[in-house]
Structure 1
């Protein structure tokens, strides 16, 4: 009986932190999770961008993810696959801190009215995504400009200055609505499938690294696959490459591509339906371990910090 009481208490402490500390705990755990996720998986994100923004140049024409890695490392060196990572580092920490804190708070509030419905995680993910993307969108613009083939920028700071000087501050948020239109369904799907995985593998919601990894990987794979077309549009809007997505004619008539509809129309007119799924394998391969790592790191720090809060009471 006493053992059961202790077990329930530990579960309650883990799932429901003291009100004065829960937000800060979620933010710290989320910041660590975001940094680990994006830094460890960055080379795969780099390859995904390259595959989505292919050029007619044979040195930047890739058949698949393995072929892309091979050509990039052979002709540009292994360090090329981490070019632009500084932009991700500056953005990922604060973005994920707000992301996880907003998700946990929203889920806690919504559970009072939805009776722990499976739709609750998806609804909570909407608010979390709005905050996350407000910070990450400018970082994504700089990162992807650094990632494209033959990028002319010397550093992330040089890239940001050039974008601001030539295109103005609005260029950093040109893809924001597209980012939201992609990330809201992505995160809703992601959170719903993560919580479904937890219902199946970890119903009592104890700290269980194996269940967090499996649920995270499943959620990332499903969400990545269904939102790839929107990610391709986002890459075109962010990079504004003359030959991005294989659109050769843009190099002859330079113009700014604005909005999701315009990007989608260009991709479809030049590459058809398959054009919306360029880099899908790299995106899924990136997202599976990425979300698995993010959730395992987040749940670990949440558990670790909560445990220490209780010990120091």
Structure 2
């Protein structure tokens, strides 16, 4: 098999283009699932003013705050749906098929740059590590964890700013004043609120995902006697590795969701009550309220989104890299 870590066949710009295409396709395919999920949630327990819910398309989380019983963004008043399939049919029939992608713009604004940074950093780090290590899987594990840590740290202030703008109408001048006031009172680290739970969830997820992906891809190539992984091999490896990582890191996803919604409600309602937002204390509160099973709440919906999101993202990314490798090789041959 050709050495997978050869960095000479593709440039960072081409990696960014391939990962951006993957983020776009993933958002297009998975966003309707979350639109339907939120509408069903609102039907069973309507969102009230100041109530927050988390919108996630498999790539990015978005904290959405309801204002006057409705959201400022893609959430609409719930209909009467008997289930997921009925919700799909009624939304398309009554509101048009475009309503299934009503959360797409805010998703793409954050998802494309975050994904491009993450995947490009991963490939660059993996290419460096693979020549110093005998194991491709271990190099992938370290590169995946490091790349996710870096991208989460870079994107965290932007996520905080976006959440503040969603929580209540703010002009850019008011937003700047709000950030300056926060920095003056709590220091620059205040721009990274929520970074801890995000890293605790995403870094282990990324490490496990890339390790299992490389392992699964190698095994499938050997089983089907393929010199290079095909689109279907990448798709299957991405779905399985994403599912495994999603199950293991679910407790931290539950904590992150709880922390996001609590912080959002406090901001909107100006509630002076200060609940602890420590990751471990939130875990303790969840287990006290719902038992150990509470840490694994929402497993099925998370798998339904994460598995196809990981599969579509990685297979599109690998296909894009293969396309650029072939293009670069053809150009090199022409110059000879």
Taking the aligned partners of 1:131 and 1:302, their CA distance within structure 2 comes to 22
What residue number does 1:112 align with? Answer: 131
Taking the aligned partners of 1:22 and 1:200, their CA distance within structure 2 comes to 27
- Provide, for residues 246-273 of structure 1, a one-character-per-residue CA deviation record: whole Å limited to 9, x for no partner: xxxx999743542312322322222222
What residue number does 1:3 align with? Answer: none
What residue number does 1:4 align with? Answer: none
Match of 1:58 among 45, 50, 55: 45
Any conservation in 2 of the 1:145–1:238 contact (CA below 8 Å)? no
Cα 1:201–1:115 shift into 2, 3 Å: same
Taking the aligned partners of 1:163 and 1:227, their CA distance within structure 2 comes to 35
Match of 1:16 among 6, 30, 33: 6
Taking the aligned partners of 2:318 and 2:7, their CA distance within structure 1 comes to 13
What residue number does 1:220 align with? Answer: 242
Any conservation in 2 of the 1:212–1:296 contact (CA below 8 Å)? yes
- TM-score between the two structures when normalised by the length of structure 2: 0.69
Taking the aligned partners of 1:163 and 1:74, their CA distance within structure 2 comes to 42
Taking the aligned partners of 2:171 and 2:84, their CA distance within structure 1 comes to 26
SS in 1 for 2:132: helix
Any conservation in 2 of the 1:107–1:124 contact (CA below 8 Å)? yes
Any conservation in 1 of the 2:5–2:126 contact (CA below 8 Å)? no
Structure 2 unpaired stretches of 5+: 48-52, 54-81, 184-188
Structure 1 residue 298 displacement after superposition? 0.1
Taking the aligned partners of 2:153 and 2:37, their CA distance within structure 1 comes to 22
- TM-score between the two structures when normalised by the length of structure 1: 0.73
SS in 2 for 1:114: coil
Taking the aligned partners of 1:211 and 1:282, their CA distance within structure 2 comes to 24
Structure 1 residue 26 displacement after superposition? 1.7
Any conservation in 2 of the 1:47–1:282 contact (CA below 8 Å)? no
- Provide, for residues 41-85 of structure 1, a one-character-per-residue CA deviation record: whole Å limited to 9, x for no partner: 12434567899xx79973369xxxx95786799799787765543
Any conservation in 1 of the 2:247–2:299 contact (CA below 8 Å)? yes
Structure 1 residue 172 displacement after superposition? 5.7
Taking the aligned partners of 1:136 and 1:41, their CA distance within structure 2 comes to 21
Structure 1 residue 304 displacement after superposition? 0.9
Taking the aligned partners of 1:59 and 1:71, their CA distance within structure 2 comes to 16
Is the counterpart of residue 134 in structure 1 residue 156 in structure 2?
A: no
What residue number does 2:230 align with? Answer: 208
Structure 1 residue 117 displacement after superposition? 4.8
Match of 1:184 among 188, 203, 207: 203
Is the counterpart of residue 25 in structure 1 residue 47 in structure 2?
A: no
Cα 1:48–1:184 shift into 2, 3 Å: farther
SS in 2 for 1:255: coil
Q: CA RMSD in A?
A: 4.2
Structure 1 unpaired stretches of 5+: 1-7, 245-249
Cα 1:37–1:140 shift into 2, 3 Å: farther
Taking the aligned partners of 1:224 and 1:164, their CA distance within structure 2 comes to 38
Q: Which has the higher helix share?
A: 1
- Map 1:50-199 to 2 at 5 A: 58-59=45-46, 67=83, 82=101, 84-138=103-157, 165=178, 168=182, 173-199=192-218
Structure 1 residue 237 displacement after superposition? 1.7
Any conservation in 1 of the 2:18–2:320 contact (CA below 8 Å)? yes
SS in 1 for 2:135: coil
Taking the aligned partners of 2:319 and 2:326, their CA distance within structure 1 comes to 10
What residue number does 1:237 align with? Answer: 259
Aligned residues: 286
